[in-house]
Amino acid sequence: MADGYFPRWRLKTEGVIAPDERLPAPQTAAMGLQHVVAMFGSTVFAPLLMGFDPNIAILMSGVGTLIFFLVVGGRVPSYLGSSFSFIGVVIAATAYGGSGPNPNLGVALGGIIACGTVYAAVGLIVMGVGVGWIERFMPPVVTGSVVAVIGLNLAPIAIKASSGSTFDDWMAVVTFVCVGLVAVYTRGMVQRLLILVGLIAASIIYALLTNGLGLGKPMDFAALAAAPWFGLPAFGKPVFQAHAIALIVPVVVILIAENLGHIKAVTAMTGQNLDRYMGRAFFGDGLATMVSGAAGGTGVTTYAENIGVMAATKIYSTLIFATAAVIAIVLGFSPKFGALIHLIPPPVLRGVAIVIFGLIAVSGARIWVDNKVNFADSRNLIIVAITLMLGTADFTLKFGGFALGGIGTATFGAILLYALLGRRGVSRAD
């Protein structure tokens, strides 16, 4: 790459576009819009599942991406969007009922800021001493277990939330069937947007059955029609509560694993070694999470959806992500856009939640498969077994006035078990 803090972004119009190269301006804008579309589904659904304002989430995803871009000096192609890793702990910390605005939002925001602070501190340490110590403490057997626990811990929330009227239950089924059909029978960009396309299809079916045939609660388009195109979103105010902080901070382990995997994947795709920017990437993501929480947004993380777009297009220019960030910020200042998101029928949203939480659990198993974790090794077997049980059953440990919920006990339990059981020095793959 070129000398200096930022690349020079050499113009290139065909073939593979490296992170330090750029397309002409019109193509850069089009690709930026495509990345916004790719991250849209997850970044919008995560705040809805936690009772956050989706306008704020979209706005802060753009702001966070720009912060990340500046911290890494435009060297790492990445988009930051709402992290699903926060859903379980935020719901636990706020006792959120699963519908409408979260009445205890401030408590969650304080925990998210604390998590971002720890994450940024880890980034500073990595900038000083390297990333090897993280890889030793968090091998694939540990990170896979913790990621799987996130999804399994959320499973009761998704299933119970879908239990409304009989019609609502069937609409949840229709929704995840729609998503499945899109995932299996479509290709290209439509397949990459399986959650968004499946949700739109299910919402159309819902409108036909309710507004058309009167089988359930009809969709009310009045708020959408009345909402202005541009306006200031409702920013949140953090409240720092020890119990919520203790529940939410352990998510930093997942954020580190996600960012680590993202940079490894981009390194493999581009052929450029980006490991030297790992510390800056952690710090940038942590800082973006702090800023997002301070404004009322969710914690943010690097997005696999955008890796998929890069893999499909072979275009890795970091300028595209700065462009995408600006587009997201513009959407964040549109109340009309927020009203459109709130129009999603609750049964459809619940059906999507079932799919998303399941995919989170399966992604943990994929980490084991991709890294060839050896389950013939009793150490790995015990670590996974205990971690999954602690997280799925929401095993809680109390320390005086502090309570560490299932995801926290599972996360720290996996790390400590690996450190304890790994002392015998086996040579098998982790």
How many whole angstroms separate alpha carbon 246 and alpha carbon 239? 14
- Render pLDDT for 170-180 as a digit per residue (tens, 0 to 9): 888 888 899 88
Long-range CB contacts (within 8 A, 24+) of 187-191: 188/312, 189/34, 189/37, 189/312
pLDDT at 71 (0 to 100): 94
Whether 423 shows a pLDDT value over 60: the answer reads: no
Structure confidence by residue, pLDDT tens digits, 255-275: 887 787 777 777 777 777 887
Q: Hey, where are the domains in the chain?
A: 10-166+218-345+361-370
pLDDT over 90 for what percent of the chain? Answer: 14
Q: Is 336 exposed, middle or buried (0-12, 13-18, 19+ CB in 10 A)?
A: middle
**pLDDT computed for residue 403 by the predictor:** 60
The predicted structure's pLDDT at residue 133: 79
Indicate if the pLDDT at residue 401 is higher than 60.
Answer: no
This prediction's pTM? 0.71
Q: Is the pLDDT of residue 285 over 70?
A: yes
Q: Could you tell me which residue, 366 or 295, shows the higher pLDDT?
A: 295
Q: What is the pLDDT of residue 189?
A: 58
Predicted confidence band of residue 426 (pLDDT cuts 50, 70, 90): very low
Where is mean pLDDT largest: 66-80, 236-250, 389-403?
A: 66-80
Identify the pLDDT of residue 248: 86
310 has pLDDT over 80: no
The answer for residues whose C-beta is within 8 angstroms of residue 32's C-beta and 6 or more apart is 320, 321, 322, 323, 324, 326, 327
Query: Is 217's pLDDT higher than 60?
Result: yes
Decide which of 71 and 176 is more confident.
71
For residue 429, pLDDT beyond 50? no
Q: How far apart, in Å, are the Cα atoms of 171 and each of 46, 163, 168, 205, 277?
A: 20, 11, 5, 9, 45
Question: Residue 319 contacts by C-beta under 8 Å, 6 or more apart in sequence?
Answer: 9, 22, 28, 74
The residue type of 1 is: M
Q: Mapping DSSP to helix (H, G, I), strand (E, B) and coil, where does residue 402 land? A: strand
Mean pLDDT of 181-193: 75
Mean pLDDT of the chain: 81
Question: Is residue 300 within 8 Å of residue 43, measured between CB atoms?
Answer: no
pLDDT computed for residue 286 by the predictor = 94
Rounded Cα distance between 61 and 114, Å, is 18
Continuous segment of H or E residues that includes residue 220: none
Q: DSSP state, 3?
A: S
pLDDT at 428: 47
Residue 180 CB coordination number (10 Å)? 13
pLDDT at 120: 95
